[in-house]
Amino acid sequence: MVVVKFPELTLPQMLREQARLKPSQIAIRQKDFGIWKPLSWQAYAERAMHVGLGLRAIGLAAGGHVGVLSENRTEWVLAQMGTGLVGGVTVGVYPTSPASEVTYVLGHADIEVIVCEDQEQTDKVIESLDGLPRLRRIVVIETKGLRNLTPAHRDMVTTFAEVERLGAASASQGGRALVDAALTAQTLDDIGLMIYTSGSTGKPKGAMLSYRNIRGVVPGIVDRLGLDADTTHLSYLPLCHVAEQMLTAFVPPYLGSQVNFGESIRTVQEDLREVAPSIFLGVPRIWEKLHASISIKLQETGRLQRALFNRAWTRCEALSATPRAQWSLADRTAHAASYWLILRALQNFIGLRRVKVALTGAAPIPPDVVRFFRTLGVPLVEVYGLTESSGMVTGHRPDDVVVGTVGPPTLGVEHRVAENGELLLRGDMVFAGYYKNDEATAQSLRDGWLHTGDVVRQEPNGHLRIVDRLKDIMITAGGKNLTPSEIENTMKGSPYIKECVIVAEGRKFVGALIQIDYETVGKWAEAQRIPFTNFRSLTEHAEVLKLIGDEVARGNGKLAQVSHIRRFHLLAKELDHDDGDVTATMKVRRSAIYRSYAAEIERLYVG
């Protein structure tokens, strides 16, 4: 593959460049009330300029910080690019965050203007105003319900439409010169974005990404995944996470490719069928949910259809690990028959029939789930990256997938493995540091190398295998080292298990707290005529306990003896972000769960 050389330009400078090179080509499509509305590169750049000038008009200082508290939509990237066009810094905030987390991020990041999606998000900010002395204005995208604001708050709130109107007026009165000056002065070493880490072990940290970092990660993503100007993407994962940023905001301005925003996070599967994107990114939980939804669909079919599926599956499973170029004529014929009879319908069901490359990353994924989708004909590859590496820095090539690894490093990434097995990275994509946290920066960046905190094993073929987080490796009472993620992900390969939290540090054997997948287990219970009214009542049935016990036994069969789960406890409720069990990205807060379920854990080791 010919490696494309990208200009030495910042993200906002590239937006202006694409508007010049391909003004009428579609950059963004947004679905509103069932209709896809296009936005050309020229209109994208023009509206972003209006937003940027409007933000300055309502009080954003030069170099000021703008927060965005919203689901993915056109206004999110308009705010981000607009802020960049006038020399500001964007900070995303998870829309699922409770008011306390919103207060922390906005306060720590010194946010001057916050863009909120609707009344719900605006209320969180208003509730937090006493702890946000630097906040000047609140900009609201959807204004329904805002009539109930108190007079004291009304003057602080304005609408996104009004900000654009003010910016358009400024542009017509010489404001363009301000944008031109800002872009002329802008360098690759300027900070363009701050992304707050999930905070699984403490308070979230603000990772500062420079435009050099952003530009530095793009060539590796484009080269490894085979992206080009014709690439189409559906943006739905939170834009305050680096994984979605890299495919929605980083890559498109350099490639000139298209991004689609669906109606909401709740319509993703319908939107996928309509957009039929060429690339799709899903965190492991998305793939696990799709896996579970297919399992449910198969449970609801007749005996003949299940038999046809099993026969097709047997034919295709062995082929999934072999490159198509190596298939024999008999292999191709068998696969074609299976595809047209069974697999094509399932690909349509999940909306991924036309995808050229599908990604999983941001957390470990059960290998069986990867094999499932590759057997289904979805070209799923596993990638690895961090907020601090500006996104993806390793990944499978679509024609070189080794399940259980995260592929070799991408273009421009230097790597080495420390004596303790920790992966170290170096390159333009390595972040500039943590905002207002020199101590944490010094711990992560040493002698020019990013210390990832992840233990890896280098395979002979150049692929990297993630063992676990350095801090998560456990030592049993017998002195055996265990990697919890290997055990947990093996168990989560079952469609009936949504979450598994291992207990082993200093213990005689491995125990586990297990959360069932309510939807899948519920469907199974209905088919077995087992009555239940809610999550708790479902987990209390002996038949469900046996079902999960059988799944644990099946998982144990894939693990070394020392890693076998000997006893487990079924959680009576789902792990929840609001309760502090998981982060906004659904990463388990292990220490918090150990505290909350201390009594249940101790009972595993009694007798």
Residue 315 has what pLDDT? 74
pLDDT of 173 strictly over 80: yes
What's the mean pLDDT in 283-301? 81
3-state secondary structure of 473: coil
Strands 391-395 and 565-570: unpaired
Using CA of residue 558, residue 562, residue 567, residue 570, what is the dihedral sign?
negative
Residue 92 has pLDDT above 80, yes or no: yes
Closest CA to 454 of 415, 488, 402, 400: 415
Question: What is the C-alpha separation between 446 and 423, in angstroms, rounded?
Answer: 13
pLDDT tens sequence across 186-197: 999 999 999 998
Q: How confident is the model at residue 521 (pLDDT cuts 50, 70, 90)?
A: very high
Helix axes 484-492, 367-376, angle to 10 degrees: 40
pTM of the model: 0.84
pLDDT tens-digit profile of 294-310?
877 777 777 777 777 77
Q: 93-103: buried (b, 16+ CB within 10 Å) or exposed (e) per residue?
A: bbbebeeebbb
CA 294 from centre of chain:
22
- The pLDDT assigned to 410 comes to 96
The confidence band for 3, taking pLDDT boundaries of 50, 70 and 90, is low
> Is the C-alpha dihedral spanning 116, 114, 99, 585 positive or negative?
positive
Which domains are delineated in the chain? 11-275 (3.40.50.980), 279-353+355-469 (3.40.50.12780), 473-604 (3.30.300.30)
Please name which of 504, 604, 298, 555 lies closest in space to residue 547, comparing C-alpha atoms.
Answer: 555
Report the mean per-residue pLDDT for the chain.
90
DSSP of 99-135: HHHHHHHHHHTTEEEEEESSHHHHHHHHHTGGG-TT-
Tens-place pLDDT, residues 551-566: 999 999 998 888 999 9
More confident residue, 147 or 332: 332
Q: What pLDDT digit, counting tens, does each position of 471-520 carry?
A: 878 888 878 788 888 899 899 989 999 999 999 888 889 999 999 999 99
Smallest Cα–Cα separation from 520: which of 300, 269, 294, 296?
A: 296
Distance CA 492, CA 499 (A): 6
pLDDT at 1: 47
Kind plus residue range of the DSSP H or E element containing 380 = strand 380-386
* Confidence check: pLDDT of 129 > 50: yes
